[in-house]
Amino acid sequence: MEKIKVTKFGGTSMADAKQFCKVKSIIESDDKRRCVVVSAPGKRHDDDNKVTDLLYLCQEHIKYSVPFDQVFDIIAKRYLDIVMELELNIDIKSYLDDIKSKISKNISIDYLVSRGEYLNAIIMAEFLNYDFIDAKEVIFFDNNGFIDLNKTHEVLSNKLSWGRPVVIPGFYGSTPDGKVKIFSRGGSDITGAIVARVAEAELYENWTDVSGFLMADPRIVENPKPIERITYRELRELSYMGASVLHEEAIFPVREVGIPINIRNTNEPDNLGTIITDDIKDEENQNIITGIAGKKDFTVIALHKNHMNSEVGFIRKILSILEVNNITIEHVPSGIDSLSIVISNQQLENKLNIIIDEINKKCNPDSINVYRNMALIATVGSKMAYTVGIAARLFTALADAGINIRMIDQGSSEINIITGIEGEGLEKAIRAIYNTFVL
Ligand code: ADP
Ligand code: ASP
Ligand code: MG
């Protein structure tokens, strides 16, 4: 059987009737585009709201027993306008009324926010004359909250084998007891990757509002250079560190079976965007670094203890304190007598004092310093491992920009140098690194 392309369209690509028309012409221009995954309507302009955010806002109103009708009406209007402008024959109002009546009956937050993609997929299916498949019936989580790929494969591949072109809502699936469960924010990218894997697609196209992956966040660096080709590994490092174009979890399902990802721009469909594959020949990539990304809101706990390295079990003791407190760690860079632990602030909540007390008691360090509100920057590139002097250039760039480095970590894979700096310097630091390596 001929291989298909799975196409995922993000929020801005699905924001209004005009965008729906662009999506339709993209799909109709290639008859391999037979499997479409969609997000909820995103922003139509900078000051607009994403429907998913409005659905969360609805939930907040309900939580504090404040009437939610006004917010719900704004959401409803988004869908009513799309259906009206596209002159579709769907009674979208009855779907909306049904959701509204269920809200008062205490539905789960996951069910409520998933309706953003559910309704958009129903409308897009009608517009394209494709079949609608509810993600609840084909994307399955296990009891631990992870994707159950075997069950998903069994059920979804059966449906796809019927040969009809389909639209599937992104962002959610169902638990073993049949309840709707969502992925984390931006999760429609994951749905698209899972569908591409099950469909054994030749390509996973991810259509968004930028012409591919750029070397830095375009909101920070003016007109960053586009990346034509990038490896899954490099991309994962960048996505994890805040290059939000593609959800970091969207890489595994396709990487394991070698399906390339192509990031494309719905507003500029002739641009070929970025191809993400396993291997890139050196001559294909002229730049020493592939990209830069950064993320705020980390805490670094820096420990110093003379002869730390020769003390058996020192690191284990520290890690077990964090484990007992149910905290995951981002990085643990270490020297001979020093060790830093990098934790996302979200993980720490109110546990910082408890942890510091326990470390002092059980590990007896010479000093312990805590840096709150740190930012991490990842400078990523497969070529870095065998190019001399990259780290020196990076640190000089930051020093020249007047930025203090609090932590350095070069992962053992050597495709990534992570620097920890004060949070407010993030944008300036990214621009300094970009200017050094790219301009
Ligand atoms: P979608 O709604 O289509 O899923 P997202 O908002 O999740 O789109 O991702 C696209 C956005 O990612 C872009 O509009 C851009 O602002 C942002 N972005 C952050 N870092 C980068 C980068 N390195 N390259 C391109 N876009 C980036
Ligand atoms: N609509 C969801 C969000 O805003 C999922 C997605 O767009 O991928 O996070
Ligand atoms: Mg996204």
pLDDT in tens, 239-273: 889 888 999 899 999 999 999 999 999 999 999 99
* Chain mean position to CA 102: 30
Residue 267 forms part of a structural domain: no
Whether 267 is in the pocket of ligand 1, judged by its Cβ within 6 Å, is no
Q: Note down the domain range covering 334.
A: 291-437
Overall number of domains in the chain: 2
Q: Which of 51, 53, 210 to mutate to test the pocket of ligand 1 (most atoms within 8 A of CB)?
A: 210
Query: 316 and 360: one domain?
Result: yes
Residue 51 inside a domain? The answer is yes
Residues of the chain whose pLDDT is less than 70?
Answer: 1, 280-286, 411-413
Tell me how far apart the alpha carbons of residues 381 and 4 are, in angstroms, rounded to a whole number.
31
State residue 283's pLDDT score: 56
Check whether residue 176 and residue 304 sit in a common domain: no
Taking the CB of residue 101, how many other CB atoms lie within 10 A of it? 10
User: How confident is the model at residue 385, as a pLDDT?
Assistant: 75
Answer whether residue 327 is part of any domain: yes
Flag whether 33 is in a domain. yes
Q: Are residues 28 and 147 both part of a single domain? A: yes
Strand 172-174 relative to strand 180-182, pairing:
antiparallel
Q: What is the pLDDT of residue 334?
A: 82
Q: Are residues 249 and 310 in the same domain?
A: no
Q: Are residues 250 and 330 in the same domain?
A: no
In a domain, residue 429? The reply is: yes
Asked if residue 362 and residue 430 are part of one domain, the reply reads: yes
Residue 29, C-beta contacts closer than 8 angstroms, at least 6 positions apart: 269
Q: Which CATH number is 13's domain given?
A: 3.40.1160.10
d(CA 336, CA 313): 15
| Mutation pick for ligand 1 pocket among 225, 245, 267 (CB with most ligand atoms within 8 Å) | 245
pLDDT given for residue 285 in this prediction = 61
One domain for residues 204 and 335: no
Is 402 among the domain residues?
yes
> In whole angstroms, what is the distance from residue 351 CA to residue 361 CA?
16
Give the ligand at the shortest distance from the Cα of 37. 2
- Identify residues whose C-beta is under 5 A from ligand 3, the ion: 10, 186
CB of 11 sitting under 6 A from ligand 1: yes
- In this predicted structure, what is the pLDDT of residue 282? 57
Q: Are 379 and 417 in contact (CB under 8 A)?
A: yes
Q: 185 CA distance to ligand 2 centroid (A)?
A: 5
- Are residues 37 and 139 both part of a single domain? yes
249 and 316 inside one domain: no
Is residue 123 included in any domain, yes or no? yes
Same domain (yes/no): 9, 156: yes
Q: Which of 399, 400, 381 lies closest to 390 in space, CA to CA?
A: 381
Examine the domain organization and report whether 203 and 307 are in the same domain.
Answer: no
